[in-house]
Amino acid sequence: MNEPIGLYIMAGIYILAGLMHFIKPKMYMRIMPRYLPNHKVLVFWSGIAEILLGVGLCIPVLKAVSIYGIIAMLIVFLLVHFYMLSGEKASAGIPKWILLLRIPLQFGLMYWAWIYLN
């Protein structure tokens, strides 16, 4: 496994982020768009997805599918980011400038994943 260290850092970030869904689930449920059903179930499965995709980055045969999965997941997560911009309650007390910064950050994370496709 001669992968760049950045790939393993990315894997660790997604695994940690996924674990946080189980350590602090209320934090994630609080930012879920109201129009989505079953917040608890969605938080659970998004946490599982982040963990599995992070682990998949470390398994050569799963790396490419994990990268595509991460990009798709980040696109879906944009729903949450835009929802949080919709009002004071939806923002969960996070300053608007931080919420605005998160949107280009999502695209940066997508690009970071994309560069490891080979």
pLDDT in tens, 79-96: 999 999 998 888 888 999
pTM of the model: 0.90
Ramachandran region, residue 32 (left: φ > 0; alpha: ψ -120 to 50; beta: rest): beta
Q: What is the pLDDT of residue 1?
A: 53
